[in-house]
Structure 1
Amino acid sequence: MSGFKYDSYCCNGNNHTGDCQRIPTRNVRITSGGYEIILKPGDHRLVTRTHDFQLPQSEARRSTDSEYHICLYPTEDTLRCFYAPDMGF
């Protein structure tokens, strides 16, 4: 994750203990309305049960490293920020 920085609004903590981290591409599905993000325990350090987040494309922040990242705050139930690479359309 060299050089990738989270917006200060999004992330509490650091890359090892904070609420933001990169998530596997397999967890993200592009839909007609934006994104469906499914997280299971092990996909993010804060997740203890399965979550299915829906997010409009307009609310995604741009990822500068071509990876998906998610910030969960104040609990694992709240998607605070989601970073995605350009959709390409």
Structure 2
Amino acid sequence: FFFYFTLTEILDQINEKGFHKLYIDGGTTIRSFLKEDLIDEMTLTTIPILLGGGSSLFTDLPKKLKFELIESKTFLNQITQNHYKRKR
């Protein structure tokens, strides 16, 4: 069986069950949520290794989305983790 739901419908179902935070990963999935303006907070982790072949998070967005940097951390003197909150 295949079911088709929009991202908003899926989030509504998750919220109805009492869950209010969702971890998503992968460029294509994250970009889908960004296109629908469904991300309130995000954490971007940068590791200084170029893998190539990945999918860009920020291409083909229909409008500018403004985020504010909340916190920035560095691990092992090279890995950075930035926490952003959506400015609406």
Q: Name the structure with the higher helix share.
A: 2
Q: TM-score, normalised by structure 1?
A: 0.23
Larger Rg: 2
- TM-score (ref. length: structure 2): 0.23
